[in-house]
Amino acid sequence: MNAPQVLQNKLEQMEKALRNTPDQHLDFKAKRDLIERILQLIEEKDVFVLGHNYMEPLVYLLSGEQERGDSLGLAQRAAETDKPIILFDGVRFMAETAKILNPEKKVLIADLEAGCSLAEPFSADVVKEYRERYPGAPVVTYVNSYADIKAESDYCCTSANGYKVVLHAAKEYGVDRVIFFPDSLMGANLQYDLKDEGIEVIYPGKEDDRFAACEVHEKFTAQMMRDIREQYDMPKNAEHTAILAHWECPPEVLEEADFHGSTTQMGKYLEDHPKLQRVYLATECEMAANLAMEYPGIEFVRSCSLFCQHMRKITLEKILYSLENEVYEVDVDPTIAKRALVAINRMLEIK
């Protein structure tokens, strides 16, 4: 198949996938030329494009099916590529992880200011302070953090494997106390889920007045979940309906939900429950738009406008500019990157 044909096929696939999301389908028609130019550059420059689940559908679909997903899946894919340029459609800490795994490659992000409320609040010194306060306890750091914090950690984790990594760290170090950094709400949720294992999880805010949370997920409340159940006829543990919540939501939201997990685990839940007809996702709103393309038979309750302002900084226009000029390159200090890589690899090695 020649290059123009590959491009046309890709455009047709995108158009077809977007038919289930009427707004984006219209956007696609309006931005077809822009998308075509981006796809052309991706082909010409042999770019590996990774797309996080929270990207708007038009950006999300620029990545191949195997290159879309959550932080864990994308970190794994980033470690596998031999392409010279990686374009990371996500926020900066994710692109940093890709750079740490691929120091020789050029890693681009459409907006270097695409941050994260979890990654901003603490410096590496705070991790050192926790180590001193809880001697012997290994530090597991959520991937939503910058490289200097990862460099001070024993393991990284994502929302897909946080439970497993904390458990593994406790066993490996022969201790029953693990420091989890920096998400206070996910730390509390892990503590709840790990209590039967006899593991104490220390996280910012548990025994001090520090706090870090995702500015999107912290806004969900248990009352919102109850209202949605009532308004949309979604009783708990029903066969045809389900509320799925992300790990970064407050503990009382997880208690109200039918299932909690990472974004990829939410997708897997839908796959494993083919009788579902109506679903509410307590997570960033683009996730529902992206899953709607995959599951046309499910009605996704879209009663929120909780979008991540950082993820929304990644637009088609900025992607084009970044690719055309090969600018907005992510850089990580090599000494820090080397130490951070140890924590990332220790996570990737846990099966």
Contact set with ligand SF4 (CB under 6 A): 54, 91, 116-118, 144, 214-216, 284, 308, 310-311
In angstroms, what is the minimal distance from the CB of 309 to ligand SF4?
Answer: 7
Q: Is residue 142 classed as helix, strand or coil in its secondary structure?
A: strand
In angstroms, what is the minimal distance from the CB of 304 to ligand SF4?
Answer: 13
Nearer to ligand SF4 by Cβ, of 39 and 89: the residue is 89
Does the bond joining 84 to the residue before it have cis omega, within 30 degrees of 0?
Answer: no
Check: CB of residue 306 under 8 Å from CB of residue 59.
no
Nearer to ligand SF4 by Cβ, of 10 and 246: the residue is 246
C-alpha to C-alpha distance for 195 and 116, rounded to whole angstroms: 29
Nearer to ligand SF4 by Cβ, of 144 and 241: the residue is 144
In angstroms, what is the minimal distance from the CB of 314 to ligand SF4?
Answer: 11
Nearer to ligand SF4 by Cβ, of 48 and 93: the residue is 93
In angstroms, what is the minimal distance from the CB of 336 to ligand SF4?
Answer: 21
240 φ/ψ angles, rounded to the nearest 5 degrees = -100, -5
In angstroms, what is the minimal distance from the CB of 43 to ligand SF4?
Answer: 29
Nearer to ligand SF4 by Cβ, of 94 and 337: the residue is 94
Nearer to ligand SF4 by Cβ, of 172 and 215: the residue is 215
Nearer to ligand SF4 by Cβ, of 114 and 270: the residue is 114
Question: What separation in angstroms does the CA of 77 have from each of 14, 69, 212, 251, 341?
Answer: 21, 10, 28, 31, 15
* Rama region for 31: left / alpha / beta (φ>0; ψ in -120 to 50; rest): alpha
In angstroms, what is the minimal distance from the CB of 1 to ligand SF4?
Answer: 37
Check: CB of residue 338 under 8 Å from CB of residue 148.
no
Check: CB of residue 128 under 8 Å from CB of residue 319.
no
In angstroms, what is the minimal distance from the CB of 115 to ligand SF4?
Answer: 8
DSSP tag of 192: H
Nearer to ligand SF4 by Cβ, of 291 and 311: the residue is 311
Check: CB of residue 61 under 8 Å from CB of residue 55.
no
In angstroms, what is the minimal distance from the CB of 248 to ligand SF4?
Answer: 6
> Among residues 101, 79, 72, 251, which one has the least CA distance to residue 161?
72
Query: What ranges make up the beta strands (E) of the chain?
Result: 47-52, 68-69, 85-89, 106-108, 139-142, 155-157, 177-181, 200-202, 241-246, 259-261, 278-282, 299-300
